[in-house]
A and B are shown apart, each in its own frame.
Chain A
Amino acid sequence: MKVREIMTRDLTAEEKTIPVRELIFILSSALMSNMPIVDEEGRLIGVISEKDLIKAALPGYFEMLHSTSFIPDMNQLAKKLVQISDDSIEKYMERDFICVEEDDDDLQAADLIIRRNLKSLPVIDKEGRLVGVVKRIDLLEHLL
């Protein structure tokens, strides 16, 4: 089966110029854990996740962030988040991202999601434009 047959047909994406504050609202409202970043032609140029934002707010602690017990003080995280909230997301987005093409096999998407422990994977067409996303839950639903 092809990726196009199992992907969620959602084109929710933002441009790199929006501020962190706006991104957090969108991720929270749309129940997304990461956001594809596209250029003016809709081509995928990056991805930014909740993890990237936490890393941006608390870079020194990120490697130890397997549980909240490693955060010394929630106020510290809040304070740092406020400090970066007006920065454009360009500063924190992943440019070296993983994606699949819509004509790729579902097995390839499954392999990437499982091996890289990803919650979702952007899907692009031949021109590099975002056409959807494969979520971990899409795979599970597809396999059942």
Chain B
Amino acid sequence: MIITVTPNPAIDKIYGIDRLRVDGTTQDEFLTRATWSDTAAGGKGINVSIFLARMGMESVAMGFVGGHTGHVVVRDLRDEGVTTNFVWVQEETRTNVTVLERGREHIPRLINEAGAPVSEQEISRFIRRYKRMVKRASWVVLGGSLPPGVPDDFYKGLADLAKEAGVKVAISAGGKALTQALPACPYLVKPDVRERLSMEGADLSTREGIITAGRGVVAGGVEMIIVSHEFTGDIVITRDAIWEIGARKSATAFKNLVGADDALLGGIIYKLENDSGIEEALRFGMAAAILSAESHQKICRDVGKIETEMEHISLKQG
């Protein structure tokens, strides 16, 4: 069983528009009508769970939810076939808005709320449940930002508990939530570089910077680090090798990048869990990410096409 933890879930509201007008003065200019829209439960761990459910793999989504939007998140996950185990909090789960302009969908505009505050009592309640669940898991995926009230070392504590139980840990996050968890030596880390192309002060904007920083992280005890380098390419560093993985695609072919990173992680974990080698897992993960990015829906629905998509993925060992 795979556990995903999303401490700060969201309703992802995605709007497709023809053109974003930001300096309008007439009514025609300040009103923007959506040409399409999509609403789905979101957050990095949740997206991984949705991907795994579509692959037919069981996962349990955990985290904090509250209010009406919390119920929408839980309902959405159950409809996807994901098992849920959330702690209910006083405040309403956040809504994140993505605006995708036609022809420029590869440059999304995001408005993300901070999230519902979580109290110490609610954190304790979560830890009690997590301790019970982790004993039944083979992987734990810790994903996304931390809501107000949750300490920066939250992921470190969860990673320590998972490692004690002999469970592999993947962390997809940014900032202190990630860097403070590195000493727990998770199996896999994927830094969130959407806001800052850096990690612990290391520059992640160039190939050389990524490799230098990645080697440092792996030397500290992490098995694998995956860093987004270009729209269609990631760099993967392990103890034994460095891989550059890319898709022979144009970024302008992408329709929605939201969740593509999570499909990548979900694809890799899916394959590793099925005893595939690392090279196949990386190619499958990237194919899942590309297929997701090419559809308006957040996570690709037609998972049967991933194997075919792998033909467009290149993997080069550096």
Asked if B128 and A9 make an inter-chain contact with CB atoms under 8 angstroms apart, the answer reads no
- Give the residues in chain B near A131, CB-CB below 8 Å: 83
Residue of B nearest to A131 (CB): B83
C-alpha gap A76/B128 in the complex (Å)? 34
C-alpha gap A31/B66 in the complex (Å)? 11
Quick check: is A121 within 8 A (CB to CB) of the other chain? no
C-alpha gap A143/B84 in the complex (Å)? 24
Quick check: is B194 within 8 A (CB to CB) of the other chain? no
- Give the residues in chain A near B74, CB-CB below 8 Å: 10
| CB within 8 Å of A: which B63-89 residues | 66, 70-71, 74, 78, 81-86, 88-89
Which of A9, A15, A41 is B83 in contact with, Cβ under 8 Å?
A9
Contact with A along B104-132 (1 / 0, CB 8 A): 00000000000000000100010011011
Which of B83, B89, B132 is A10 in contact with, Cβ under 8 Å?
B83
Asked if A40 and B84 make an inter-chain contact with CB atoms under 8 angstroms apart, the answer reads no
- Give the residues in chain A near B133, CB-CB below 8 Å: 11, 42
Quick check: is A26 within 8 A (CB to CB) of the other chain? yes
Q: How far is the CB of A38 from chain B (nearest CB, A)?
A: 7
Quick check: is A74 within 8 A (CB to CB) of the other chain? no
Quick check: is A85 within 8 A (CB to CB) of the other chain? no
- Give the residues in chain A near B71, CB-CB below 8 Å: 31
C-alpha gap A64/B66 in the complex (Å)? 35
Residue of A nearest to B132 (CB): A42
C-alpha gap A12/B71 in the complex (Å)? 13
Q: How far is the CB of A99 from chain B (nearest CB, A)?
A: 17
Contact of A10 with B128 at beta-carbon distance under 8 Å, contacts A41-B135, A42-B133, A129-B136 already known: no
Q: How far is the CB of B49 from chain A (nearest CB, A)?
A: 11
C-alpha gap A132/B83 in the complex (Å)? 8
C-alpha gap A15/B81 in the complex (Å)? 26
Quick check: is A88 within 8 A (CB to CB) of the other chain? no
Asked if A11 and B88 make an inter-chain contact with CB atoms under 8 angstroms apart, the answer reads no
Q: How far is the CB of A144 from chain B (nearest CB, A)?
A: 16
Residue of A nearest to B88 (CB): A29
- Give the residues in chain A near B235, CB-CB below 8 Å: none
C-alpha gap A11/B135 in the complex (Å)? 14
Quick check: is B60 within 8 A (CB to CB) of the other chain? yes
Asked if A11 and B85 make an inter-chain contact with CB atoms under 8 angstroms apart, the answer reads yes
C-alpha gap A12/B125 in the complex (Å)? 11
Residue of B nearest to A9 (CB): B83
Which of B66, B78, B86, B125 is A8 in contact with, Cβ under 8 Å?
B78
C-alpha gap A42/B127 in the complex (Å)? 14
A–B pairs, 10, beta carbons within 8 Å: A9-B84, A10-B74, A11-B85, A25-B88, A26-B88, A29-B66, A29-B89, A31-B71, A40-B131, A132-B83
- Chain B interface residues toward A at CB < 8 A: 60, 66, 70-71, 74, 78, 81-86, 88-89, 121, 125, 128-129, 131-133, 135-136
Closest 6 CB pairs of A and B: A29-B88, A9-B83, A11-B85, A42-B132, A10-B84, A30-B88
